[in-house]
Amino acid sequence: MLRTILLYTLLNTGIVALQAQADEPARYPLYMQIGGHFSVLNPLEGFRQVLDMNGIGGGGQVLFQMGPGRPVFAGLDFSLVRFDEETVGFTTTQNGFPENYELRTRTNMLLGHVLLRFKPFTNFFLQPYADGLIGLKRPYTRTQYVQLFDEGEEDLIEAYPELNDNTFSAGLGAGLQARLTSWPDLLLDARCTYLMGGSARYLVRMDDPPAVIDDPIEVFEERITATTTLQIQIGLTLQFGL
């Protein structure tokens, strides 16, 4: 009789434990986050001495929770910002009618990182987090040749690169998410990230550019420095359980 009771107790305990493990994902769903942001990229140190302007643009990120109930997420983060632009317009005559064209040269930077995020769960609508990032920065300059029409319409005829380079990037960030709605789980997301960057070649506007130019690339010159930056972002993040 005693053996029967002990056996029943062990079996019952095992069943309860298995049920608890099975219920774990239900109590703690596995979360995914998809977000988009507006971004300001501020050059620092030697980079700032050469490029005395901020990059403006945007980007996004995709994050997956590393396990139900765990305050750790991993994913990808990217941004694209523009620093400077120069244009040259001209008019030609075709079959007796004027046609307007424009050359545009723009300096940009693409940032792509693998991201690891520590985000402790809170019962408050504000949720702080800390990020570690490793990836690359890609400064590049591109020229577009476009035809202009009435009412602001245009047609891209050709686009070609002027200078591209890649360099290592790594850094740390901190942010704060504020829940706007619970269904869908929409978060206002603000973050500041310090990103160390290796040396790279890029184009900047000359201190004393020519007064008259035929091509917008003529006002830029090549420089090379480290690419350390401070990135400030604000956007929206959608969080949902898988």
- Cβ partners under 8 Å of residue 175, min gap 6: 128, 129, 130, 131, 189, 190, 191, 192, 233
In the chain, domain spans: 33-241
Residue type, position 72, single letter: V
First-to-last C-alpha distance (Å) of the chain? 47
Q: What is the mean pLDDT of residues 18-27?
A: 47
For the ranges 98-102, 219-223, 230-234, the lowest mean pLDDT is seen at: 98-102
Assign 14 a pLDDT band (cuts: 50, 70, 90): very low
pLDDT in the model for residue 166: 98
170 close to 188: Cβ distance less than 8 angstroms: no
What pTM value is reported for the model?
0.83
State how far the Cα of 5 lies from the Cα of 53, in Å rounded to an integer.
78
| Interatomic CA distance for residues 199 and 167, integer angstroms | 6
Return the structure tokens found at 230: 């401070």
Q: Which amino acid is at 86?
A: E
Q: Which CATH class is domain 33-241?
A: mainly beta
pLDDT band at 56 (very low <50, low <70, confident <90, very high): very high
For 21, the 3-state DSSP assignment is helix
Give the confidence band of 26 by pLDDT, cuts at 50, 70, 90. low
Parallel/antiparallel/unpaired status of strands 154-164 and 167-182? unpaired
> What CA–CA distance (Å, rounded) separates 143 from 125?
45
